[in-house]
Amino acid sequence: MKEMTQRQLQVAEKIRRILSELWPSFDTFLPPVSLVEVQISPDLKNATIFYMANNGMEKAELEKQLKESVKHIRYELANRLNLRVVPRLQFREDHLQDKANHIETLLKETGDV
C-alpha cells in the first residue's frame, strides 16, 4: 500500500476524530466499537474505517448494523466535515490485536519471550 499524503492523513484523522465524538450519540442503533484507524483514497472519495468490537456481539450482526447505518453516519459526518465531497464509508474489522496476540503466543511456545 502506498503511503498516504499529508492531506490524506489530515482528512483521515479528522474523520476518525469526528466519528469518535459522534459515536456515543449513535448508541441507540449501533453497538460500542473502538475506532482504530481511517484510511482514505488519494481522491478523498472513499474512506475505510477500521474498528474493534467492544463487546461479544456476533460479527455478522455488527457488520449488518454498520452497513445499515452508513447513510446516517455519512450525513452526520457531512455536517461536521469541511469537504466538497463526503467520502463513501466502508467499515472493516481490525485484526491487528489478534495477530499480535497470536505472535506473542508463538514466541512464548518457543521460549523466545
Q: What is the pTM of this model?
A: 0.78
Query: Which helix (DSSP H) or strand (DSSP E) does residue 51 occupy?
Result: strand 46-53
Give the phi and the psi of residue 83 in degrees, each rounded to 5. -130, 150
- The Cβ of residue 27 has, within 10 Å, a number of other Cβ atoms equal to 9
> Rounded to a whole number, what is the distance in angstroms from the first to the last CA of the chain?
31
Query: Which helix (DSSP H) or strand (DSSP E) does residue 33 occupy?
Result: strand 33-40
Nearest by Cα to 80 from 3, 24, 11 = 11
- 8 A C-beta contact, residue 66 and residue 74: no
* Residue keyed to cell 449513535: 26
Q: What pLDDT score does 11 carry?
A: 94
User: What does each of the 113 residues of the chain score in pLDDT, given as a tens digit?
Assistant: 578 899 999 999 999 999 999 988 887 778 788 888 999 999 999 999 998 887 767 778 888 888 899 999 999 999 999 888 999 999 998 866 666 666 777 777 777 65
Measure the CA–CA gap between 65 and 6, rounded to whole angstroms. 32
Q: What pLDDT score does 33 carry?
A: 85
Domain ranges in the chain?
Answer: 6-110
Q: What pLDDT score does 50 carry?
A: 92
Say which CATH architecture domain 6-110 belongs to. 2-Layer Sandwich (3.30)
